[in-house]
Amino acid sequence: MPLNYFAAIISGSMKIAIDGPAGSGKSTIARILAQKLGFRHIDTGAYYRWVTCRALDSGVPLTEAEAIIQTAEHTDFSRIDEARIRTQEVSASVSAVSAIPGVRRCVVAQQRQAAAQNNIVMEGRDIGSVVFPDAELKIFLTASVEERARRRQAELAARGETVELAKIQAKIAERDRQDSTRQASPLRKTPDAVEIDTSGLTIEQVVDKIMAIYNEMKVV
Ligand code: DC
């Protein structure tokens, strides 16, 4: 691995793949890791969310797979509207859009292109399994549904929204079910990924664990 490590860093092709379900802490952790390492951070969920926005805006019914694929093919991923993609409307529809194989083919190609010539931390559901099966480091984050629901509730509370815990828990469980049972690239841990259960851990503790694993890659 050390030779691979240095070759990857020097050629700008180091890939750290972070996969896991909604609320496992992927986004925050990937962002901090990328900052620490000076790598580019790519949030692949944002790509599926942006296609969903474009489809909703153009009035394409979410059941019309061909029309959604066309939308994906004409989407400019350099113009993702961060505020818009986080709305409840988009969150409620994105699982259906991301389950369409033609949408995934188009989005995965865009993601590979965004990663080209860069050392990256890429987060999503299928990074270690499909987008970059040859990633130098693969991390699979998990956390109990209860813990993920509590985190989401705290996030909403910080935005002034009060939502019952049981309701959030049910939504997360449903999203897990959709993401891991779909035919096209379901969420799954590959055998070579390191699994970290983030329940009861702080963001800093998880980042430290990943940094320790990453730094081991440099040791001859
Ligand atoms: O991580 P997120 O909540 O922003 O992801 C939004 C949706 O996109 C979620 O339903 C799972 C899907 N997704 C995916 O299928 N593959 C990815 N690599 C990233 C996200």
Tell me the three state secondary structure of residue 211.
helix
What's the full length of the chain, in residues?
Answer: 220
At 155, list the tokens: 């996030």
Nearest CA residue ID for atom 1, ligand 1: 45
Ligand 1, atom 14: closest residue by C-alpha: 125
Ligand 1 test: best mutation among 44, 68, 107, 127, most atoms within 8 Å of CB?
44
**Tens digits of per-residue pLDDT, 134-168?**
999 999 999 999 999 999 899 889 989 899 999 99
Rounded average pLDDT over 4-28: 91
The helix-helix angle for 44-57 and 88-98 (nearest 10°) equals 100
Contacting residues for 155 by C-beta, under 8 A, at least 6 apart: none
> Model confidence over 56-111: pLDDT tens digits?
999 999 999 999 999 999 999 999 999 999 888 998 899 899 999 999 999 999 99
How far apart (Å, rounded) are the C-alpha atoms in residues 47 and 216? 32
pLDDT given for residue 162 in this prediction: 92
Residue 4 pLDDT grade (very low, low, confident, very high; cuts 50, 70, 90) = confident
- To which residue do tokens 């926005």 refer? 53
Q: Is residue 12 over pLDDT 80?
A: yes
Mean pLDDT confidence for 9-25: 92
Give the residue among 84, 104, 72 at the shortest CA–CA distance from 182.
104
Instruction: Return the pLDDT at 182.
Output: 86
Ligand 1 centre and the CA of 94: distance in Å? 7
Dump pLDDT digits (tens) for 170-215: 989 988 888 889 899 889 899 999 999 999 999 999 999 999 999 9
- 12 or 132, greater pLDDT: 132
Q: Which ranges of the chain would DSSP assign to H, the alpha helix?
A: 2-11, 26-37, 44-57, 65-73, 82-85, 88-98, 101-115, 145-158, 165-181, 203-216
Question: Which ligand 1 atom is at minimum distance from the Cα of 85?
Answer: 4
Dist CA 164 CA 169 (whole Å): 9
- End-to-end distance of the chain based on CA atoms, in angstroms? 8
Q: What would the two tokens of residue 26 be?
A: 């992927």
Predicted confidence band of residue 2 (pLDDT cuts 50, 70, 90): low
Asked if residues 22 and 143 have their Cβ atoms less than 8 Å apart, the reply is: no
- Quickly list H helices, 38-100: 44-57, 65-73, 82-85, 88-98
> Residue 220's pLDDT is what?
58
Give the whole-angstrom CA distance, residue 46 versus residue 68.
16
Residue nearest to atom 16 of ligand 1 (CA): 125
The pLDDT tens digits of the residues spanning 104-130 come to 999 999 999 999 999 999 999 999 999
Q: How far is the CA of 47 from the centre of ligand 1 (A)?
A: 8
Q: Whose CA is nearest to atom 18 of ligand 1?
A: 124
Which of 98, 120, 148, when mutated, tests ligand 1's pocket best, judged by the most ligand atoms within 8 Å of its CB?
A: 98
Residue 133 CB less than 6 A away from ligand 1: no
Write down the pLDDT at residue 88. Answer: 83
Domains and CATH numbers, the chain: 3-217 (3.40.50.300)
Phi-psi region of 26 (alpha: psi -120 to 50; beta: other; left: phi over 0): alpha
